[in-house]
Structure 1
């Protein structure tokens, strides 16, 4: 007899298998997008790497672009969670920006494939206040309002930091960085703050503090 007690047990296995398949597809796509431009990746490539049937792909995603959006959103959310955790309880927008930049650098060192996939897909999110940049935008806005930052408007301030982060991440992933990640994090955080008109010695101090606390 199919009782209410028995039904959850009956349904667990299909649901578990469905989650397993979806996870396999996302992980496979992440690997492939980190290795190859999305235009060069096919659904066949993804299902082969995931070792699932092609029909299963369309049970989860309408097309390759829908999967790419899922990969981007998942990595961006994970990175955002790291930034939020590292900035918890802090109110100084300049320090928060420095720590956010160092968090991205530490994430790139710890999860290079994820960061590479994120960079490969970043053009899918062209809005300067996209979900991943909302925290940064809030910090820049607050900094401008209280006079901690100056010399730029909100959009220019966010794009300045995002641009510095992007160039730094690509240099790290390509192996073109000669110094330590900690020293680079300190320097780039200070550079970002100076671009936002934080006093040079204060920018240097905050960069060192952020890198020492976050970059391993």
Structure 2
């Protein structure tokens, strides 16, 4: 997970902006209940209280609609990651901090997490605007000899996958604070050592990340 703003939608007239907001709000509630493939457009526009043609004035299809909804949640999460990593220079700690922040978000915001995971806003491309921060931290870790060279190709994909699976598990299980700390700690140690960090360094980062969770 990264910390770089996604492209903003085109400037809309006040009326069009209200319509788009109504569609996004309706879609958010529906996407929290079921996957996008199970949501008819008719149901979206009915809940939003707008004409069906308005949907296609703003979104090419349901995939684009789901992505737009997910982007709003993803931007919120990335903002939290940016704040959590502010002032931290060590790329391994920053990478671990992204997972920690994702875990906290999943525990505190299960509904928003479900929407994020069900949307198509979780691009795994290193070049995706929302992944540039993670890609930069991964590159810094490689340059510093902190992780193995293979992370250059697969590091972002690997870490995003771990974060998403952990967040999904925390939403599903709704564990106690102690169980959540154990889950985060285990994933951090396994994840960081998988990248090539030493077990000692991985455990040190995991222990620090789990304090106060």
TM-score band w.r.t. shorter chain: 0.7 to 0.9
- Note if contact 1:72-1:118 (Cα within 8 Å) is conserved in structure 2: yes
Q: Could you say what the CA RMSD is over the residues aligned between the two structures, in angstroms?
A: 2.5
Question: SS state of the match for residue 198, structure 1?
Answer: coil
Are positions 1:48 and 2:46 aligned together? yes
**Where in structure 1 are there 5+ consecutive unaligned residues?**
1-14
Cα drift, residue 153 of structure 1: 3.0
Work out which structure has the larger RCO, using CA pairs closer than 8 Å and 6 or more positions apart in sequence: 2
Cα drift, residue 152 of structure 1: 2.4
Give distance in 1, aligned partners of 2:39 and 2:60.
Answer: 15
TM-superposition CA deviations, 1:54-110 (whole Å, max 9, x none)? 344344334433322211222221111111111011110110011110001111112
Pick closer, same or farther for the CA change 1:57–1:159 going to 2, 3 Å: closer
TM-score, with structure 2 as normaliser: 0.81
Corresponding residue pairs, total: 201
Equivalent position of 2:210 in the other structure: 211
Give 4+ residue runs of structure 1 displaced > 4 Å after superposition. 15-18, 176-179
Decide which structure has the larger Cα Rg and report it.
1
**Where in structure 2 are there 5+ consecutive unaligned residues?**
1-12
TM-score, with structure 1 as normaliser: 0.80
TM-superposition CA deviations, 1:156-210 (whole Å, max 9, x none)? 2222212211221222222275753233222222221111221212211111212
Are positions 1:162 and 2:155 aligned together? no
- Note if contact 1:105-1:185 (Cα within 8 Å) is conserved in structure 2: yes
Structure (1 or 2) with the greater helix fraction: 1
